[in-house]
């Protein structure tokens, strides 16, 4: 009796399964009643409200339109909120995804305050970012800093771990304005020229 071989199941490292499970709207599905998404700060949250946005590029400079990002940050006073609650004005954790049209991600939050590292040294205001995308078996970890915090950035013990000053700039978001709202653009380049610095935490 001849052996019939089945076709191999397509291999995927991050999507569409990540989107189907965690980014329902991006996958074209209706959201759940309680969804962790890109609204980390509600209007009543203390601090400067900002919009973060950016694109993700692969090693060829092409947009990665199906990437998924997670964010973890302190509030305006430099405190992390360890319990997630949709009723609170601010949560330290959020998620978003790049769109299939413009390939852009967005996040509504507040500018974080100063947090000290384990040795008690103040770090510049920053947001921790995890990136999931096609071709990546283990998510990448990086940080987002702010270009209008130059003095704090220059003293930040984590930024100064990066020996080349030009490479530090790949972690610095540029202030801009979107529809009259304060915003910061942070593009992530997975490989190639201008590759974003990633950390092995």
Q: Is 70 exceeded by the pLDDT of residue 16?
A: no
Q: Hey, what long-range contacts does 58-64 have (CB within 8 A, 24 or more apart)?
A: 58/133, 58/135, 58/190, 58/191, 58/192, 59/190, 59/191, 59/192, 60/192, 61/192, 61/193, 63/98, 63/103, 64/98, 64/103, 64/133, 64/134, 64/190
What is the model's pLDDT at position 12?
Answer: 64
Q: Compute the distance between CA of residue 126 and CA of residue 144 in angstroms, rounded to an integer.
A: 5
Q: Is 80 exceeded by the pLDDT of residue 20?
A: no
Mean pLDDT, to the nearest integer, of 18-32?
Answer: 80
Q: Give the torsion sign (CA, 184, 190, 194, 199).
A: positive
Mean pLDDT, to the nearest integer, of 98-126?
Answer: 95
What is the model's pLDDT at position 123?
Answer: 98
- What is residue 168's DSSP assignment? H
Q: Is 90 exceeded by the pLDDT of residue 46?
A: yes
118-169, pLDDT tens digit by residue?
999 999 999 999 999 887 888 999 999 999 999 999 999 999 999 999 999 9
Mean pLDDT, to the nearest integer, of 155-184?
Answer: 97
What is the model's pLDDT at position 10?
Answer: 65
What is the model's pLDDT at position 81?
Answer: 97
Q: Is 70 exceeded by the pLDDT of residue 11?
A: no
pTM (two decimals): 0.91
Q: Compute the distance between CA of residue 81 and CA of residue 92 in angstroms, rounded to an integer.
A: 5
- Domains of the chain, each with CATH number or no CATH: 36-189 (2.60.130.10)
Mean pLDDT, to the nearest integer, of 92-116?
Answer: 95
pLDDT band at 35 (very low <50, low <70, confident <90, very high): confident
Q: Is 80 exceeded by the pLDDT of residue 9?
A: no
Q: pLDDT: is 3 or 38 the higher one?
A: 38
Contact yes or no for 176/185 (Cβ under 8 A): yes
What is the model's pLDDT at position 82?
Answer: 95
């Amino acid at each position: 009796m001849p052996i019939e071989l089945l076709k191999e199941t397509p291999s995927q490292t991050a999507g569409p399964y990540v989107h189907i499970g965690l980014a329902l709207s991006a996958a074209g599905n209706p959201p759940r009643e309680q969804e962790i998404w890109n609204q980390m700060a509600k209007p009543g949250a203390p601090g400067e409200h900002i919009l973060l946005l950016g694109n993700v590029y692969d090693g060829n400079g092409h947009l990665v339109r199906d990437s998924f990002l997670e964010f973890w940050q302190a509030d305006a006073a430099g405190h992390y909120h360890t319990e997630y609650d949709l009723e609170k004005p601010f949560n330290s954790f959020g998620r978003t995804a790049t769109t299939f049209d413009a390939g852009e991600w967005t996040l509504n939050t507040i500018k974080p305050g100063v947090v000290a590292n384990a040795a008690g040294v103040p770090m510049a205001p920053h947001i921790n970012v995890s990136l999931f995308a096609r071709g990546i078996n283990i998510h990448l970890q990086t940080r987002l800093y702010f270009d209008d915090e130059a003095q704090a950035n220059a003293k930040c013990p984590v930024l100064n771990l990066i020996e080349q000053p030009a490479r530090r700039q790949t972690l610095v978001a540029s202030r801009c304005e979107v529809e009259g709202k304060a915003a910061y653009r942070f593009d992530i380049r997975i490989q190639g020229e201008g590759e974003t610095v990633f950390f092995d935490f």
